[in-house]
Structure 1
Amino acid sequence: MRVVVAPDSFGGTLSATEAAAAIADGWRRAAPADELELLPVADGGTGFVAVLHAVLGGTLHTLQVTGPMGAPVLAEWLQVDDVAYVESAAACGLHLVPRADRVPATAAVVTSRGVGELLVDAVAAGVARIVVGLGGSATTDGGAGMLAALGARAVDASGRELPHGGGALAAAVRIDGRPELGGVRLVAAADVDNPLLGPHGAAAVFGPQKGADAAMVATLDAALARFADVLAATFPPDVRDEPGAGAAGGLGAALLALGAERVSGAGLVRELVGLDAALDRAGLAVTGEGSFDWQSLRGKLVTTVARGAADRGVPCIVLAGQVSVGRREAAAAGVEAAYGVADDAGGVEASLADPAGTLSALAERVAQRWSR
């Protein structure tokens, strides 16, 4: 049987390439006769640039940028001919914030400024189009940090530039300056379709995983609402309710305000890496991610793989760090079955102690059931 192994990254534990290798190792132990096609993928979040570089080649540009907590970090963007691919998580990813620092006070001050610095570098390189992968961010600043790096600074009533973070946006009254993009076209490759505000918005849905408690979620949502007013006044029309505006802590809103075209990050990668052609040849598709939950059903990578497989009558299974999607919801998304590493390993701590080993062990047991 030909098996396409097409996982996303597993949070901060395994890259998509590492996850694919771990699944393949376990699968081969149980089903050595199966032909495996490894196709690591990404949906715009962590691993976006690495996956595209492996498939498309091109030139990686490495530079020091402002990290999510203000300290410098090294980040890369990819140039393929006159197109730049920027991964927002490389500059402001949640993996760059230690778990101990993911607290309400931190959630209010993390910044997307480094993403803007990557864009500035890409513009200076002379590209015609910049595709920004959105997802996996530590930020909830509505893209204000990114805009400031581009020359459009949010200021308070005294004309002072606002400090880093979403919490400060409550004092925003206007944006001074215009983004310096030199005519470059922007594309927002979003991994989710959430709006900027409200119960399905950037703060409410993604804030808790970034350290925000209920009070901080309310504070950030109100601050983002204020910033949305300022954005709309500066870069009409109002984009707060647009699908994807809430992606990457509101980076989506800032990019849409600048006229970016929104595309599915997973759909873009699906096309560029040749996933459809691989599924045409497959008897089974195996995908996965760190947490297969309800957010996965809102346009993320695993459901993109599953729907592509379903279109061809190919069964698709999910191997994930944790699984919280019910069987019925999974089936509606095209997933035949989902298996959790944490369940198989005896708990989350056990699975995190050896991410590759426990994923490989799960793949071995699943292959015994699914290999023909």
Structure 2
Amino acid sequence: MRVLIAPDKFAGTLTAVEAAEAIAAGWRRQAPGDDLDLAPMADGGPGFVDVLHAALGGELAAVTVSGPHGSPVPAVVLRVGETAYVESAQAVGLHLVDGDPETASSRGVGELILAAVTGGARTVVVGLGGSGTNDGGAGVLAALGASSDGVLDGGPAALASVLQVDLSAARACLSGVALVAASDVDNPLTGLFGATKTFGPQKGIGEERIAEVDGWLEAFATATDRRTSLEKGAGAAGGIGYALLALGASRRPGIDFVTDAVSLAERARRADLVVTGEGAFDFSSRAGKVPYGVAGVASEALRPCIALAGQVLVGSREMRALGIESAYSLVELVGEERALGAPADALAQLAERVARTWSR
């Protein structure tokens, strides 16, 4: 039997590469004769550049940029021909926020883009996802030369005093460069489904602070480009998507870049079964996440797709709406403590059990 293994990262525990290897190790214990094809995936969040580098080759340039609170952090620019790929999580990822999230700035992502442009890239693809910032991308704009009557790179709290924003210098900096926002979510910048309300709590913004922080972003959008703030993907990465769109970026789901890069459609047609996975499989997976993208490719290839996840938070009806035949939970099998403490071993054990059902 031919099995295509195409998981995302299991956030906080396993990279996509590690997850794919763990699934394969467990599967082989139960079905050693199966032909396993490993295709680690990413949706624009952590691991985006690594997965693309493994698939496309190219050159990695090491750079140092500003972290969410100004400390220098290492990052890389992947250059493939005249196209550069950067990952916002490397500069301002959730794991880098070590202070008040209301003062965390996205400036480092703008510095990454600037490094790519300075290096000669004519197209810059920015992977969005896993950000610890919620400043509407104001820091990105500041790094690229935007000016204002207030402070743009002091996090969302600093935006309360911003009444005017001039993007002309930032747009001039990107003259002749095609900017692409590789977004994993469809949320607008503000409102009930905006960046702050939807993702603020996971970044440390208290529920009692949501309304005020969202109001700061509303005011910032009014001072900058209100119409763009309503577009799909403007709320990606705490509003970095908004900054890119305001600078003329086109938008494409990050999963599409990786799907094309690893030739997933062709590999799915050669498989009998497709296995995907992520840390938490829930209905938000429909918004540009890896399992939904992989399931779509499997469906077009007329192949069944199953998911292995840390937690499964959807019922069978929602699961099938996402294109997944069955989903299996690590926590249900081994408990939360072991799932977090020994994730690779636990995932291998889950894969071994699943192979009893699905392998011939």
Whole-Å separation in 2 of the counterparts to 1:199 and 1:326: 25
Is structure 2 residue 229 aligned with structure 1 residue 230?
Answer: no
User: CA offset at residue 162 of structure 1?
Assistant: 4.3
Which amino acid letter does the alignment assign opposite residue 323 of structure 1?
V
Counterpart residue type for residue 367 of structure 1: A
Q: Determine the C-alpha separation between the residues in 2 that align with 1:150 and 1:35.
A: 48
Equivalent in 155, 163, 166 of residue 165 of structure 1:
155
Partner of 2:276: 287
1:193 is matched with which residue? 186
- Structure 1 residue 70: Cα displacement: 2.0
How far is the alpha carbon of 1:294 from its aligned partner? 2.0
Matches within 5 A, 1:1-372: 1-97=1-97, 106-156=100-150, 161-176=151-166, 178-179=169-170, 180-232=173-225, 238-347=227-336, 349-372=337-360
How many angstroms does 1:136 deviate by? 0.8
Which amino acid letter does the alignment assign opposite residue 165 of structure 2? I
Q: How far apart, in 2, do the equivalents of 1:344 and 1:175 lie?
A: 52
Cα offset, 1:111, TM superposition: 1.3
Report the aligned-residue RMSD.
1.3
Runs of 4+ in 1 over 4 A off after TM superposition: none
Rounded Cα–Cα distance in structure 2 between residues aligned with 1:350 and 1:154: 50
SS in 1 for 2:230: coil
- The alignment partner of 1:74 has SS state of strand
**Residue identity in the other structure for 1:148:** A
Contact 2:3 2:274 in 1 (8 A): yes
Percent identity over paired residues = 54
Tell me if the contact between 2:65 and 2:73 (Cα under 8 Å) persists in the aligned partners.
yes
SS in structure 2 at match of 1:121: helix
Q: Which secondary structure does the structure 2 equivalent of 1:320 belong to? A: strand
CA–CA separation in structure 2 for the residues paired with 1:322 and 1:242: 31
Give the CA deviation at 1:182: 3.7
- TM-score when normalising by structure 2: 0.96
Preserved CA contact (<8 Å) 1:167 1:219: no
Deviates more, 1:119-128 or 1:166-175: 166-175
For structure 1, the residue ranges without an aligned partner over 5 or more in a row are: none
| Unmatched segments (≥5 aa) in structure 2 | none
Normalised by the length of structure 1, the TM-score is 0.93
Secondary structure at 2:252's aligned position in 1?
strand
Distance in 1 separating the partners of 2:276 and 2:295: 8
- 1:239 partner SS: helix
Counterpart code for 1:18: E
Contact 1:144 1:154 in 2 (8 A): no
- How many residue pairs get matched? 357
